[in-house]
Amino acid sequence: MRFLLSLLIACVIGSLHANEKPNVLMISVDDLNDWIGCLGGHPDAITPHLDSLAARGVNFTNAHCSVTVCSPSRISVISGVGPTTHGSYELGTPYQEIARLDDVPTMPGFFKANGYTTITGGKILHHNFTGRLEADNNLVLTLRKGGPNPKKTFHAPKPWDWGAFPKTDAEMYDYQLAGAAAETLRQEHDKPFFLSVGLFRPHVPMFVPPHWYELYDAEAITMPDADPTDMDDIPGNFQYKMWIAPTLAELQDRKHWRSMVHAYLANTSFVDHCVGEIIKGLDSGPNKDNTIIVLWSDHGFHIGEKQHIAKRTLWEESTRVPLFFAGPGIEPGTSPEPASLLDIFPTLIELTDLPENKHLEGISLTPQLNNPSTPRERPALSSSYFGNHSVRTRDWRYIRYDDGAEELYDHRVDPDEKTNLADKAEYTDLKKKLAAHIPVGAAPEVKTFETREQVRTGKVSRP
Ligand SMILES: [Ca+2]
Ligand SMILES: [Ca+2]
């Protein structure tokens, strides 16, 4: 009798465990482009931990952000709603001040409402979970991000500076956050958890300890393709509005271009190490086999390609981001199908079997997690400032600017987007088909345009 009772209890406990939701570990990396081994964007990049995480699950090699700058990209990921609905295209407006998102739950808020313990640290939303979003997380590991920074200037005024500082990883906020996240992952939790960790590097200012710089030989680094004639077939109306960062010409004048490429690679290897520390924490604890991992970056970064530095363009360097999913039931694979960061929220809902969230505009990636070559009909849409959009399918990129100017690239033969085909008559039908994916009736912009000139004259001062 006692044996039967024990068996019954064991069965009940067993089924409770079987029904328990998987945990979620979401890692975001700030301004990380495709210069990582598993995306092949730079031949010299040393990123063993990102590469190993990508190989552990499905690596979406054709993933793109919704907006090519921090705050609105992150608002889109965390709300699951795109910019043509929420109306944010620049840094100024926090999630909690966008009236169109008043009723839209954040990702942690949604998981918390559905029984999860929610823990966050670092930069997930650009303006943090404050005000009405404060209750969305049960625990905040740290809000510190992007430091420490030296008092002195190494190469350029902050935030556009870089150099070997501080002396040790232990002083770096990202490394401290990785340690706190790893510790959280090593613990038993009485409920499933949703842990979001926002690493700040390689975002400017690009300060990391010297040993990360020493991984690379500055003089031998492969430099990006910055052929000036690449600009000859590009509409000139739009590109200059986007140049809030220093230009490539300015860097070249100061003989700083190579040094900045070196800094970006060093910062990327440092953040790769932080990702490795987090995953080591997960793998050495009790949550290893029951945690879904998703890693993404909020947008890419130019370091000279198309004469541009930083982000806010609609080309591959700005829109393309790392996106990997790994965890229970996800077999290793690589998917070349177009994926949007908007797809993260619905994918996680499906993987954790949570109820429907009617606000979501993305489509779950679970068909590609089951079979990475499953075609996706919907392209990835990216925007930069009001009325400018890019449509990326598996084979094509189409860009349409606010004044009707267009670009079209055939990624099958032109992965660097060198030859703009938009003026060729034979592509009229294709352009029309691609343009049909751009939403009509976009919500008005929530905040007015911030131009390079406004930044330069000190009216706004953010990177
Ligand atoms: Ca960013
Ligand atoms: Ca060109």
Give me Rg for the CA atoms of the chain: 22
Stretch (H or E) spanning 37: none
Centre of ligand 2 from the C-alpha of residue 102, in Å: 42
Tell me the CA–centroid distance for residue 303 and ligand 2, in Å: 17
Does 11 participate in catalysis according to the annotation?
Answer: no
In a domain, 203, yes or no: yes
- Give 301 Cα–ligand 1 centroid separation in angstroms: 9
Which tokens go with 260? 């900045």
Domain contains 12: no
Give the distance (Å) from ligand 1 centre to CA of residue 73: 8
Distance 231 CA to ligand 2 centre (A): 5
Token digits of residue 313: 């363009």
Distance from Cα 258 to the centre of ligand 1, integer Å: 22
Q: How far apart, in whole angstroms, are the C-alpha atoms of residue 229 and residue 185? A: 50
Distance (Å, whole) CA 409 – CA 396: 6
Residue 391 exposed, middle or buried by CB count within 10 Å (0-12, 13-18, 19+): buried
Q: Which ligand is nearest to the CA of 30?
A: 1
The string over 238-266, giving b where at least 16 C-beta atoms fall within 10 Å of a residue's C-beta and e elsewhere, is bbebbbbbbbbeebeeeebbbbbbbbbbb
34: Cβ contacts below 8 Å, ≥ 6 apart: 40, 41, 42, 300, 317, 320, 321, 322
- For 328, the domain range is 21-456
Residue 461 lies in a domain: no
Of all ligands present, the nearest one to the C-alpha of 124 is: 1
Helix (H) or strand (E) holding 69: none
Q: Which ligand is nearest to the CA of 229?
A: 2
Q: 200 near 27, Cβ under 8 Å?
A: no
Catalytic: 64?
no
Torsion of CA 206, 212, 213, 219, to 10 degrees: -120
Would residue 10 count as lying in a domain? no
Does a structural domain hold residue 435?
yes
CA distance 160 to 155: 8
CA of 236 to the centre of ligand 2 (A): 12
- Is residue 75 domain-resident? yes
What is the whole-number distance in angstroms between the Cα of residue 124 and the centre of ligand 1? 10
| 163 alpha carbon – ligand 1 mean position (Å) | 19
DSSP classification of residue 214 = T
Q: Which ligand is nearest to the CA of 159?
A: 1
Expressed in angstroms and rounded, the spacing between residue 90 Cα and the centre of ligand 2 is 27
Residue carrying structure tokens 């303006």:
127
Asked whether residue 99 is assigned to any structural domain, the reply reads yes
The sign of the dihedral angle between the CA atoms of 407, 343, 117, 22 is: negative
Q: What is the pLDDT of residue 413?
A: 98
Give the active site residue among 65, 70, 126, 273. Answer: 70
Residues within 5 Å of ion ligand 1, judged at the Cβ atom: 30-31, 70, 298
Residues whose CB is less than 8 angstroms from the CB of residue 226 and which lie 6 or more positions away in sequence, other chains included: 248, 304, 305, 306, 307
CA dist 354 and 463 (Å) reads 37
Closest CA to 18 of 10, 30, 26: 10
Sequence-ordered list of residues with C-beta below 8 angstroms from that of 281, at least 6 positions apart, any chain: 181, 182, 183, 184, 185, 186
Omega of the bond prior to 246 within 30 degrees of 0, cis?
no
232 alpha carbon, closest ligand: 2
Give the separation between CA 20 and CA 103, rounded to whole angstroms: 28
DSSP string, 270-308: HHHHHHHHHHHHHHTSTTGGGEEEEEEES---EESGGG-
If one counts the domains in the chain, the total is 1
Which ligand is closest to the CA of 65, given by its number?
1
Ligand 2 centroid–CA 424 distance in Å is 14
Residue in 42, 49, 127, 203 annotated catalytic: 127
pLDDT in single tens digits along all 463 residues of the chain:
444 445 444 444 444 444 589 999 999 999 999 999 999 999 999 999 999 999 999 999 999 999 999 999 999 999 999 999 999 988 878 999 899 999 999 999 999 999 999 999 999 999 999 999 999 999 999 988 889 999 999 999 888 999 999 999 999 999 999 999 999 999 999 999 999 999 999 999 999 999 999 999 999 999 999 999 999 999 876 655 555 788 899 999 999 999 999 999 999 999 999 999 999 999 999 999 999 999 999 999 999 999 999 999 999 999 999 999 999 999 999 999 999 999 999 999 999 999 999 999 999 999 999 999 999 999 999 999 889 999 999 999 999 998 899 999 999 999 999 999 999 999 999 999 999 999 999 998 887 545 545 544 555 544 4
The CATH number that applies at residue 165 is 3.40.720.10
Q: Is residue 6 part of a domain?
A: no
User: Are residues 322 and 32 in contact, defined by beta-carbon separation less than 8 angstroms?
Assistant: yes
Whole-model pTM? 0.93
